[in-house]
Amino acid sequence: MLSACLAVLIGSLSSCNKKTETEEEIYMPASSVAVSGFSLKSKNGSKVKVDSVFFSIDLNKGVIFNADSLPVGTDITRLAANISYASSASAVTITQTGGKHTGVIDYKANPSDSIDFSGKVVLKITAEDKTTSREYNIKVNVHKVEPDSLVWDELAVTQMPSRMENPKDQKTVKYKGTTYSLIQEADNSYTMSVATDILEGVWDKREISLGFQPDVRTLNSTSEKLYLLDAAGVLYTSADGLTWNNEGVVWANIIGAYDDVMLGLRYDNGKLLHTFWPSDAGYSESEVSDDFPVNEYTDFVQFSNRWTTLPIGFMVGGRLRNGNYTDKTWGFDGDHWVVLSEGMTPKVAGATLVPYFVYRKTSSSLVQKEFSVWLLIGGARGVGMYNRTVYASYDNGVNWYATDSQMQLPDDFPGLRNHDGIMMEWPKQASLKDNWESRAGFQKPGMARVNYKVEDYEVYWDCPYIYIFGGIESNGSLNDKVWRGVLNRLTFVPQF
């Protein structure tokens, strides 16, 4: 009897692979030579429980394979297998070629013999009448790279999207589904660069005449407008980043967007207040406590879930009015500011927050579960001291943990403060024209995180990348490079 997943596979082949006049009819072997189940046996003392790995059986193409690859370095040269087939079969043999061990195994007589899957393995089943037989290629896939490594590379082809070399300052934000970078050029002119394709480094770069001197690092956005302060703290708004309107109020700093309202700080008769814009948004101003940061905090990020009646926003670190750094995570619920956590990250200024994903093992040693997290990256810990540890929060700022070594920054990643982190999803595509070759040629994730679609023989999915823009380096200069990071497993062809 075929397994449930095998039945799903056969069904998907029938529904997704539309038959044309030039395609062959689907071949189904006689039940007397069909494989109805396949699994590996774990070795005593082995850390990798290979018996929990599911194998797909493609009766049409005569292939047996694990779509979810085994961990890097798994020894597959001496593994026994459980193979289910018709009891009436007259012969069942396994031929090994091209690996460390070669030769033919009489599986019917010796089902516990070890098999070397590092080379080519062919299973042959012969029916009772000896006139019918069927061969199956068996492939045990092993990851070639660590799937849970966060890999960074410096994109030399996509320098900071400035019009000139050696820009002085920048701020990059997401606005209306794309990326906006405000850049102070070497000659003190200003550029607004908009990414039409950040993956390929395609930017629309325009010199802009603001009519005021901007505080570049205050650039922020809601879903409807861009916000910016000038050097004197006057608040400006814009719908396109090119034309700016003076709103007639003076702020000490911008915090970030809470829904369609921009939160900020302003002084009134010597008191520092939490404020907001538009002024008729219905929120109440309140005095800022002494332990609340006034600059160099992370971007203010927002989330909602089934346990909250209103969205929650939070930010991490920053510099206090007395100049000291803070290790507190502050949250806002639309009414009150509260400390969500303290002492779980370093006292850091100028770090960045990025939404991303991590995977952790469940009760099965080879099954991974996805978690949405916030990553805290970079920032300064003091004069000439930079935070090199990446921290993650699974619960929206309430708790923070140093990520595994595989997700830490590489040695060549510069120390940065006041940089901007953005996550963008970009489409990927793979061909399933030959199901066996496609699955053998691509790495596979532990699970399909992303939504995917299949059209004829092509599979499409979105891969999330982290982009790091700008930042001040240890020598005081602006980093004019763009770094891109991605979790390896999210680049693998989705398992389905």
What is the CATH code of the structural domain delimited by 150-491? 2.120.10
Provide the 3-class DSSP secondary structure of residue 378: coil
pLDDT tens-digit profile of 345-377?
999 999 999 999 888 766 555 566 788 999 999
Q: Supply the pLDDT for residue 449.
A: 47
**Confidence label for 231 from pLDDT (cuts 50, 70 and 90):** very high
Q: Supply the pLDDT for residue 206.
A: 96
Domain boundaries, the chain: 4-139, 150-491
Q: Supply the pLDDT for residue 445.
A: 40
Mean pLDDT computed over 242-257? 97
Q: Supply the pLDDT for residue 364.
A: 54
Q: Is 28 exposed, middle or buried (0-12, 13-18, 19+ CB in 10 A)?
A: exposed
Please tell me the distance from the alpha carbon of residue 317 to that of residue 263, in angstroms, as a whole number: 17
Q: Supply the pLDDT for residue 309.
A: 59
**CB-CB contact of 465 with 166 (8 Å):** no
Tokens of 146: 């660590």
Q: Supply the pLDDT for residue 218.
A: 98
Question: Comparing 39-43, 153-157, 183-187, which segment has the lowest mean pLDDT?
Answer: 153-157
Phi-psi category of 218—alpha, beta or left, where left has phi over 0 and alpha has psi -120 to 50?
A: alpha
Closest of 361, 363, 376, 364 to residue 328, by C-alpha: 376
pTM over 0.75: no
Q: Supply the pLDDT for residue 365.
A: 52
Mean pLDDT computed over 292-306? 87
Question: Comparing 50-54, 291-295, 323-327, 429-433, which segment has the lowest mean pLDDT?
Answer: 429-433
Looking at domain 4-139, which of 1.10.15.40, 3.20.20.80, 2.60.40.2340, 3.40.800.10 is its CATH number? Answer: 2.60.40.2340
Q: Work out the mean pLDDT of the chain and round it to a whole number.
A: 85
pLDDT tens-digit profile of 376-429?
999 999 888 999 999 999 999 999 999 988 899 988 899 999 999 999 888 877
Please tell me the distance from the alpha carbon of residue 30 to that of residue 15, in angstroms, as a whole number: 22
pLDDT at 494 over 70: no
Out of 69-73, 336-340, 381-385, give the one with best mean pLDDT.
336-340
Please tell me the distance from the alpha carbon of residue 92 to that of residue 32, in angstroms, as a whole number: 12
Please tell me the distance from the alpha carbon of residue 485 to that of residue 407, in angstroms, as a whole number: 10
Q: H-type helices in 254-388, by residue range?
A: none
pLDDT tens-digit profile of 29-68?
678 899 999 999 988 767 778 888 889 888 888 999 887 7
**Confidence label for 208 from pLDDT (cuts 50, 70 and 90):** very high
**CB-CB contact of 151 with 139 (8 Å):** no
Q: H-type helices in 356-465, by residue range?
A: 435-441
Q: Supply the pLDDT for residue 209.
A: 94
Q: Is 7 exposed, middle or buried (0-12, 13-18, 19+ CB in 10 A)?
A: exposed
Mean pLDDT computed over 130-154? 84
pLDDT at 142 over 80: yes
Peptide bond into 278 cis (omega under 30): yes
More confident residue, 235 or 152: 235
pLDDT at 11 over 70: no
Closest of 262, 329, 251, 265 to residue 294, by C-alpha: 265
